[in-house]
Structure 1
Amino acid sequence: MADSGKNVIATAGTIAVMHGNVEARPFAWDKLWPGQIPDAPVTAVTVPDNTLTLEGHALHLVEVGHTDTEQTSVVHVPDLGLVVAGDALYNGAHMYLGESAGGGLDAWRQAISTVEALAPRYVVAGHKNEDLDDDATRVIAGTRRYLDDAEASLEQCSSATEFFHTMVDRHPDLPYGRTLLWVGAKTLYALREPGADPVAAAVGSWF
């Protein structure tokens, strides 16, 4: 987000991920989209107490840790009972789980609890079925249920294809995000191979 001084504002954790993505460009993003991404230096800065003021109202940037990637954050607007959740919560869409190996699902659950403790009435998710409302209780419960189903399916399924179809069958009401589900499934099962390279698994899953 940007402040009135035209600065790009982010948390320290998010800025660290930005730098990491710049470093990863030659191995990931430039391979996926060769010649299509312009130079993008990191210019974001932090603000004191991770708080902005907009028209007299406080906007708090809250770091929640690992969700569908590392060092994620949400924006909390207490006066509106609102959390702008980015990818910490999904609303009516399949979820990207490719970075959830090795305890990532439990970390994501903790992030959800952090958001829930803010007591929002509304949650705006980054991945959303536009036909659904933003009721916080429903969005939080749906995200938790999907993670629980994913964990059970990972224990039961022996291949990415089986996992993908199992999750689609468990959530027939989700019309969006099947590409993310498939890419994440391929990554998770590639990482089960002996000596798997995490970067190669993640990048290769997009092709």
Structure 2
Amino acid sequence: MAALRFAAPSDVTRSWTHPSPPWMQRAGHAVLAGGGVWLVDPPDGDGLDAGIAELDAPVRGVLQLLDRHPRDCAALAERLSVPLHVVPLGSGHGLPFEVVPMWHLPVWKEDALWIAESGTLIVPEALVGAPDFAAPGERVGVHPMRRLLPPSVLKRFAGDVEHLLLGHGDALHGDAARAAVRDALGGSRRRLPRLLAAQLTRAARGRFRG
């Protein structure tokens, strides 16, 4: 099993990235909410159980927030004997956080999560931190396929975010998290030409072959 790379912890989160494929930086998260731990879009690997245990609370469930992020959600829910919640979560989910619908289309179903008690915003795909998805110079950017229609619903959280957890790339905390949300949404359309040029260069070099 692959060794996971854990990011710097916070008091309410543990975040990690899977090493394969390296350019994608597939990230999973364990977050505290409502007295329990919730796993979000988790890829499994060495060190996962120990990382979750550091939060010192029972695991209550596994969430798949993007339709194309099955990752190891089902296998972990079965192994840990907890429910699996799959996008779209809907309004009657009974979970201890706010579900923020992003896109519910036949080819793209995505929900974000907002945990007000800790200021934790979890965005599986609309915002990305892996460098190959962002425009040059961006720490976090809007997903390439959403640049022309950025997720403006996230603007209301920008001033209150303490922990920004993404489906691709490292977690950000504090001022860095707030600045990243504002910058990503504010520069989405303006930086699209720069992003497309960079991705064409990467494709020509075979960068996206994993």
User: TM-score, structure 2 length as denominator?
Assistant: 0.43
Which structure has greater helix proportion?
1
Larger Rg: 1
